[in-house]
Amino acid sequence: MNKEKILVVEDDKHISKLLKYNLEKSGYDCAVSGDGEEALLILTKHSFDLVILDIMLPKMDGFEVCRSIKQNSKLKNVPIIMLTAKGEEVDRVVGLELGADDYVVKPFSPRELVLRIKAILKRGKREEPSKDIIERGSLVINVPKHRVTVNNKEVELTPIEFKLLVTLIERKGRIQSRDQLLSDVWDMHSDVFTRTVDTHIKRLREKLGKLGEQIETIRGLGYRFKEKDED
């Protein structure tokens, strides 16, 4: 069985060495890059299952690297974990809005990071919902192709946004708490900051336009997709 491959983008040699040791000990193949430009070059030449990306990098910072990955049609589905010494909420939100799947603040526990990696990679291997095509008025979701259209216009969603939308629609009318969404969509629990869910809901609504209004916020409880479609 082939090992899953992870690219660590970190300019601190002590941290990158620590990460490489723990990842290889956990059964992953691991490559290391010390700057953003080199990392993008490596990603275009080799296939990886996940990227661990520091924000404070020479030449090109992690936010710009993340943006470049998500704008590349061949790389956009590669999961990204942002790794940084910055703990301010605004930095977390920016990373998530750019398409990162998770955010870990230094100093961190290597064991916790490995658990998060396993959760993200496991999520990507889950079986798709039983229905291949989901239709809700002007919204059409082709599940096997991970393709979403609204009024016959394609909407570009990240893998997380796609799974979040499908989860809400399949449970339409039922309130989904943030903790429940973290568990079912992210394979994580409430120890991960719940702003993750709020940020992705906000981005999903924006991408869906007027149809995004069907994703309701139920104050103090969570979110739900309206029972009736409103075009």
d(CA 220, CA 16): 40
Pick one of 1.20.1740.10, 3.40.605.10, 3.40.50.620, 1.10.10.10 as the CATH number of 133-225: 1.10.10.10
Q: Where are the domains of the chain?
A: 5-125, 133-225
- For 32, 175, 177, the CA distances from 195, given in Å and listed in that order, are 30, 17, 12
> Which residues is 21 bridged to in the sheet?
none
- In this prediction, residue 111 carries a pLDDT of 87
Q: Considering the entire predicted model, what is its pTM?
A: 0.62
Burial 188-215 (b: 16+ CB within 10 A, else e): beeebbeebbebbbebbbebbeebbebb
CATH architecture of 5-125: 3-Layer(aba) Sandwich (3.40)
The rounded average pLDDT for each run of 10 residues, N- to C-terminus, in the chain (231 residues) is 89 93 95 94 94 91 92 88 73 74 83 86 58 84 88 88 90 83 72 70 91 89 74 40
